[in-house]
Amino acid sequence: MKVDKLSVSFDPDLGDSVRDAARRAGTGLSAWLAGAAAAKLRSEALADFLRDWEAEHGPLTKEELARAATELGFDFETGQPRT
């Protein structure tokens, strides 16, 4: 498999937190960072899509946002996962 090696720099506290998160996830640092980068790119793509959709169709209503939150398993008021 082809890989693209990158060099990244972090504030020491952030670096420690990232290494700890990778360790807790039971994965290597590179795999954890790749997953985080992929999640960020998906988030940005979704934000772009929603911005364009709302520009064409108007803002999502509170009811539509609440329904989406429920379908995704989140509490609409807090934005936290439902337990």
pLDDT digits (tens, 9 = 90+) for 29-46: 999 999 999 999 999 999
**Cβ atoms 60, 54 nearer than 8 A:** yes
Residues of the chain short of pLDDT 50, as ranges, are none
pLDDT score of 79: 87
DSSP 3-state assignment of 14?
helix
Runs of H (alpha helix) within 26-79: 29-57, 62-72
pTM listed for this prediction = 0.77
pLDDT of residue 83: 78
The pLDDT value recorded for residue 45 is 98
